[in-house]
Amino acid sequence: MSLPITRLLFAVALFAFFAEGCSTARTAKHVVLISLDGSRTDFYMDTSWPAPHLQRLKEEGVYAAGGIRSVFPSVTYPSHTTLVTGAFPARHGIYYNVPIGAKKGHWYWNENAIKCETLWKAVKDAGMTSGAVFWPVSVGAPINYNFPVRRVEAGETGNNLTIKLPFITPPGLLKDIEKKTGRKFTASDLTQDDYAQSKTIGTIACYIIKTYKPNLMAIHFVGIDHKEHEYGREGAPVREVVRVTDSLVGTVLQTIKEAGIEETTTVIVTGDHGFADNRAYFKPNVYLARHGLIKAHKWAAKFHAAGGSSFLYLGDKADSADVLDSVVALLKATPEYHQGYFRMLDRKTLDSIGADPHAFLALAMKEGISARNGTDGPASGKNDHGGGHGYDPAYPDLHTGFIAVGAGISAHKNIAGMGIKDVAPVVAKLLGLSFKAPDGVLIPGILADKGNK
């Protein structure tokens, strides 16, 4: 009888040991990941910006004074997918906002387009819960409480709210919020009028946090990006939307406190890309059309623009080498090339930065010069309205913000050398997830000493 009892006691001790190991590996019970689309370091490094909550968080936790690097192209959907996979676009498969050849209005909505593991799946596999509001490429994702991005496409009926209803989880989420708040959601709640969309995102996110307390909560505030596109980096409306967005971040922080989870929660505020002011445009397809490479119903070569970059696709793979040589030669002969409008990135370079593996060549535009797809009219011209992104993420203006504060995070510290690919490893480590980022690494200094071990 004594031997089984001994074995039982040993088993109990062993279980306790591993349970303790798991609990020490997990330094936060909740992570709230907030993405401010178009976020820049100015907002928390320069106190002239009306962002007191961001500036306070920066003083309390870890931050990147010089920002963190995006991906190439530095646009929203590839970037947000990198945030939750720790992978470059070449690995996760979301190369642009819009798939090549997609019908009008169709973007990368569905999570099943992602080719590697996501934090959503890792959280689910660990028996934890997750929530997301307006996170790109999240339709159909294994997220417990999800209000994804989905808009009306060509040929579809309805509006940007009704088209989204079948993809919200749980199905009664909006009705539950309406009962709690006494408000009725309409399509106007997803417009830019009076920052309605940003406020709606905040309302839904705070309800999920307070009601369900998910282990991972991801929130995507989009208003800053819209105003920067319209008014550039320094327009007065940009300052106003930063003020509104910062106040919504403050509301999220207050909700965490009211939910009783402040002491066990880590808050990460980051973004997808920075912004550059527009100065000019370039349409490389104009030259391809002039040289017969693009015709009315057939093309041998064609560029796909992504803001501050453009990617070359070839139609006939049999003579791809000759066509590629022709494209390179004709671009090198253009006045725009000699004026430094763009750099040409070959396939080897694209591989090294994790860009679209199907492109034969890419143009990295000079900061402030945007790429366009058109084949008619002048190949280039002045464009002094608004701002854009999609540029080489090495440009300092294209760096995005990063602040981390709360459970498991180091005391006030500036970190450098980080990219958005390195955010997912931080989240995974905090929650003790079995998750391996394909390209991201855990940057030293972000986590408190116990978390870095």
- How high is the pLDDT of residue 36? 98
Phi (first) and psi of residue 153, to 5 degrees? -100, 170
Return d(Cα 419, Cα 308) in angstroms, integer. 19
- How high is the pLDDT of residue 12? 38
- How high is the pLDDT of residue 297? 85
- How high is the pLDDT of residue 318? 66
Residue with tokens 């190949």: 379
Q: Which amino acid is at 227?
A: K
* This model's pTM is above 0.95: no
Tokens of 158: 């309805």
Give the dihedral sign, CA 107/113/117/118: positive
Residue with tokens 């009008």: 104
Which residues in the chain show pLDDT less than 70?
A: 1-24, 318, 450-453
DSSP 33-63: EEEETT--THHHH-TTSS-HHHHHHHHHSEE
With CA atoms as reference, report the closest residue to 350 among 364, 331, 340, 370: 364
- How high is the pLDDT of residue 199? 97
- How high is the pLDDT of residue 384? 85
pLDDT in tens, 366-404: 999 999 999 999 999 999 899 999 999 999 999 999 999
Return d(Cα 298, Cα 136) in angstroms, integer. 33
- How high is the pLDDT of residue 151? 97
